[in-house]
């Protein structure tokens, strides 16, 4: 086995999905640990990877170990596995607030440490991941990590001080985007559109807008202005969004998420 996941819930399975789809590793090169037999059975059925109920088995069998449990379980899990870690291991944290220094300290030995902040669109190969590494991680190690994260979307290597911003702007933001889509669809349903169709229209509009921005490189304000005809329908909606503090609400939400990460 080459890569191991401790925990295989939403984020772990989304990452593994991309890795398998792009052939970065074969199923028999991936080991995951679960808390329960039921979890193991689900990982086997859904992903076909090797499973165990023993977190230490992951460390014994894989050089790259991804900690894919909720942040509050990090300390307990590291306590369990630390005696099996070697200088050849790369320990990868994906939780907000768990810094490179914190991970190194809890592992109680000099180690290669990586921090990633992926997001759930990884599940469909459209993820955005922020990455930073400690100074024991070589260029070759980093290339290996990037091959993994690029298999489920885009990756940017950033200074560690930006990881809370990454967490807010791409780690958490899918939740806010889904709230936006849901609200738009509710409004379309109120206008008489069937719900399923409303999700299609709303989601495709969000997907297309993001693609337009990324592919043209144009300023979002300019792209917004292209939609707003004088005395038209869109600018009326813009007026109402501004009146209701739309931009400020988004700003505060991301600020809150980033601040929370700093405290974790
Ligand atoms: N869900 C998301 O959008 C994102 C999550 N993350 C981070 O990814 C990590 C995992 O989050 P999710 O996948 O959303 O959580 P999740 O709850 O869906 O998955 C965690 C899995 O770990 C298992 N688990 C719990 N304790 C364990 C233990 N001691 N040993 C082995 N397995 C154990 C649970 O049974 C569960 O299957 C978190 O640290 C989170 O902050 C990062 C970016 C985005
Ligand atoms: O809220 C969480 O735990 C994770 C971190 C980034 C997105 N979701």
Q: What is the DSSP string of 188-219?
A: HHHTT--HHHHHHHHHHHHHHHHHHHHHH---
- Pocket around ligand 2: residues whose beta carbon is below 6 Å from it? 96, 167, 171-172
Q: Closest Cα to atom 22, ligand 1: which residue?
A: 7
| ipTM of model over 0.95 | yes
Mutate which of 17, 40, 49, 69 for ligand 1? The one with the most ligand atoms within 8 Å of its CB, which is 69
- Block means of pLDDT (10 residues each) for the chain, 264 residues, are 92 93 93 95 94 97 97 97 95 97 95 97 94 97 96 97 98 98 98 98 98 98 98 98 98 98 92
Mutate which of 44, 70, 73, 123 for ligand 1? The one with the most ligand atoms within 8 Å of its CB, which is 70
CA distance 158 to 66: 19
CA distance 7 to 76: 13
Contact criterion met (CB below 8 Å) for 51 and 33? yes
> What's the predicted TM-score (pTM) here?
0.95
């Amino acid at each position: 086995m080459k890569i191991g996941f401790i925990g295989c819930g939403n984020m772990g399975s989304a990452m593994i999905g991309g890795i398998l789809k792009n052939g970065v590793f074969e199923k028999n090169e991936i080991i995951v640990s679960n808390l329960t037999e039921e979890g193991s059975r689900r990982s086997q059925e859904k992903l076909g990877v090797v499973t165990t109920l023993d977190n230490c088995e992951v460390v014994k069998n894989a050089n790259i170990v991804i900690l894919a449990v909720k942040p509050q379980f990090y300390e307990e899990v590291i306590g369990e596995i630390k005696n099996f870690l070697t200088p050849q291991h790369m320990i990868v944290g994906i939780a907000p607030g768990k810094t490179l220094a914190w991970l190194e300290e809890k592992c109680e030995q000099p180690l290669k440490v990586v921090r990633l902040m992926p997001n759930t669109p990884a599940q469909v190969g459209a993820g955005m991941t922020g990455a930073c590494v400690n100074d024991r991680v070589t260029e070759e190690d980093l290339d290996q990590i990037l091959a993994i994260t690029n298999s489920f979307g885009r990756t940017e290597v950033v200074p560690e001080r930006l990881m809370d911003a990454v967490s807010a702007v791409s780690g958490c933001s899918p939740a806010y985007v889904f709230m936006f889509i849901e609200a738009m669809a509710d409004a379309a349903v109120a206008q008489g559109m069937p719900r399923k169709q409303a999700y299609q229209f709303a989601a495709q509009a969000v997907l297309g807008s993001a693609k337009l921005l990324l592919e043209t490189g144009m300023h979002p304000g300019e792209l917004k202005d292209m939609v707003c005809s004088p005395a038209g329908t869109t600018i009326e909606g813009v007026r109402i969004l501004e009146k209701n503090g739309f931009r400020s609400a988004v700003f505060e939400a991301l600020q809150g998420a980033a601040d929370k990460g700093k405290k974790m």
